[in-house]
Amino acid sequence: MAAFARYFLELFAQIWRDIVEWFKGLWTTLFVNVFNNVVVYFRDILGNYKRDFGFMGWLLWVFSSLLIIALISFIFFRLYLLIRKYIIVRKTEIEKDDLREEIAILNEKVAQAISEKNSILALKVSQYNGTAPITQAYGGSSGAPDTSDARFSKLAAIDAKYGGSIQEINMTIDDMVTLPELIQRFLDYSCSRLHLYYKAPTIRYFFASMACSKIIILEGVSGTGKTSLPYAMSKFFKNNAEIVSVQPSWRDRAELLGYLNEFTKKFNETDFLKAVYEVLYRKDINFIVLDEMNLARIEYYFAEFLSIMEMPDPSEWRIDLVSNVLDDDPKMLINGKLLVPQNVWFIGTANKDDSTFTITDKVYDRAMPIEFLKKGEAFEAPPTDPINMSYEYLDNLFRQAKEDYPVSQALLEKFEKLDEYMIDHFKLAFGNRILKQIYEFIPVFVACGGTDYDALDYMLARKVLRKFESLNLAFLKDELGELILELAKRFGKGKLPESTEYIKALQKMV
């Protein structure tokens, strides 16, 4: 037995040295050392000890040989699986890139066709001195032919509607509610008046999102109430949401805002432009819905809005519409520029399927996503009236929440530790933009009746962990398991259920 033990240790040491050398030199070293040393294994090493083996020694030699062969076979098999998985993942990504490129080419051709169509229509108008009828072909544009002298006929009509005066909001004592009361009142109103049913956490997410971003993305499958929520919210605030249907052919801001027709010298105004302009005359709370916003690339047609809303000074949130200024231009256009008002939120609905584009990090980082997984369950509520509320009053509620419920120092320290962990293990960081949103989101969510851990859980899952989808998850399965343990260690077991479930869902994608 002692002889066999010395034999086995020397044999295993030799084989292990050869395997290490094989990994260093890959296939070249494999053939030189392992295969060429088969004679050494059986002639030299075995020959030195086999005389003293005995029956038990030979029995153990057979068993150990099978064990070593199994070990080597397992190593080769695992390498085969890793290489095969990498090839499959790589092939899938290449196919996706090719499909996206084909879709982009098709969209570009559609946009070119629309542009040519509008050029032909504009040419016809110029031939008939502007008397021939014309159909506006850009998204959101509709209605009768433009027969006015003003180049912004729709915006001029809004000026006339409001008489050039900003509409005041007269709030009564019943309208001056707290954030928890506001949420409950909306739940009762949407149930009793509109027969739409939402859960309190969803509405907390919505109002907390309003406090930290002007762009909110409602994601989920069809029929879960994504479009209905901003519709109901607008009715609740005694307003009407402008719903703009995004088209797959949208490539730039012209589809969203319109364009100046060089032949007619008229601006082809869209309903989106009209809605943003009208908000300038109002002091209440307004919503503009971009329905199925990811049918086209958001970072293309909405790029200018994404950029200007990054500016810290809201007075600089201006969109250039025309380069020259005329006397009959709309009153709220300053030097041909449209101010994006503070009392409007852009609500995008998004489905996740093969017919839509992936929402990029550029959009997600600036927006607040809310996921709809299933329809709301019906419940009973007392008849509830809508509310009169100014933007200034709601903004003051948000400001007061940030003063009353600031993010605790203990939670900030855990943020920092988690940020360091993410950088060390995944090369991902929260970023200043996301941290700023966390500081603004959590206090309002807590003021609405939630907890700071639930708010943190939501932000981690939707703003940070979502970035993992862009990584190669095939090589991160073990690291994702360790991340679950890290969250439990830093924040407590079961404190972040949504983030934990999100990571487990990522593991299943491997």
201: number of Cβ within 10 Å: 15
- Read off the pLDDT band of 124 (50, 70, 90): very low
CATH of the domain at 307: 3.40.50.300
CA distances 506 to 213, 305, 354, 497, 501, Å, are: 27, 32, 19, 14, 9
Residue 114 domain flag = no
Predicted structure pTM score: 0.71
Residue 309, C-beta contacts closer than 8 angstroms, at least 6 positions apart: 214, 215, 317, 340, 366
- In this structure, the answer to whether residues 160 and 292 fall within a common structural domain is yes
pLDDT digits (tens, 9 = 90+) for 422-475: 888 888 777 788 889 999 999 999 999 999 999 999 999 988 888 887 777 777
Task: Give me the pLDDT at residue 140, please.
Answer: 43
- In this structure, the answer to whether residues 350 and 422 fall within a common structural domain is no
337: part of which helix (H) or strand (E)?
Answer: strand 337-339
- In this structure, the answer to whether residues 320 and 242 fall within a common structural domain is yes
Decide if 349 contacts 228 (C-beta within 8 A): no
Residue 432 domain flag = yes
Which residue among 89, 108, 136 closes a domain?
A: 89
Distance CA 281, CA 156 (A): 13
Residue 129 domain flag = no
Residue 261 domain flag = yes
pLDDT digits (tens, 9 = 90+) for 209-241: 999 999 999 998 877 788 899 999 999 999 999
Whether residue 144 is predicted with pLDDT greater than 50 in this model: the reply is no
- In this structure, the answer to whether residues 179 and 314 fall within a common structural domain is yes
- In this structure, the answer to whether residues 172 and 304 fall within a common structural domain is yes
Residue 110 domain flag = no
Into how many domains does the chain fold?
3
Decide if 112 contacts 105 (C-beta within 8 A): no
Task: Give me the pLDDT at residue 127, please.
Answer: 42
Residue 51 domain flag = yes
- In this structure, the answer to whether residues 189 and 296 fall within a common structural domain is yes
Residue corresponding to tokens 């939501």 = 458
Chain mean position to CA 347: 13
Distance CA 468, CA 426 (A): 9
- In this structure, the answer to whether residues 225 and 311 fall within a common structural domain is yes
> Per DSSP, what are the bridge partners of residue 267?
260
At residue 170's C-alpha, the angle toward residues 167 and 173, to 5°, is 160
Whether residue 344 is predicted with pLDDT greater than 90 in this model: the reply is yes
- In this structure, the answer to whether residues 257 and 323 fall within a common structural domain is yes
At residue 389's C-alpha, the angle toward residues 451 and 317, to 5°, is 85
The boundaries of the domain holding residue 198 are 148-372
Residue corresponding to tokens 């005389």 = 51
Token digits for 267?
Answer: 């601006």
- In this structure, the answer to whether residues 7 and 68 fall within a common structural domain is yes
| Angle formed by the axes of helices 2-29 and 54-127, nearest 10° | 30
Burial of 473 (0-12, 13-18, 19+ CB in 10 A): middle
431: number of Cβ within 10 Å: 15
- In this structure, the answer to whether residues 322 and 420 fall within a common structural domain is no
- In this structure, the answer to whether residues 174 and 302 fall within a common structural domain is yes
Task: Give me the pLDDT at residue 92, please.
Answer: 67
Residue corresponding to tokens 């003003």 = 150
Whether residue 191 is predicted with pLDDT greater than 60 in this model: the reply is yes
Relative to beta strand 215-220, strand 368-372 is: parallel
- In this structure, the answer to whether residues 350 and 427 fall within a common structural domain is no
Average pLDDT over the chain, rounded to an integer:
83
3-state class of 5 per DSSP?
helix
Task: Give me the pLDDT at residue 118, please.
Answer: 55
Task: Give me the pLDDT at residue 126, please.
Answer: 44
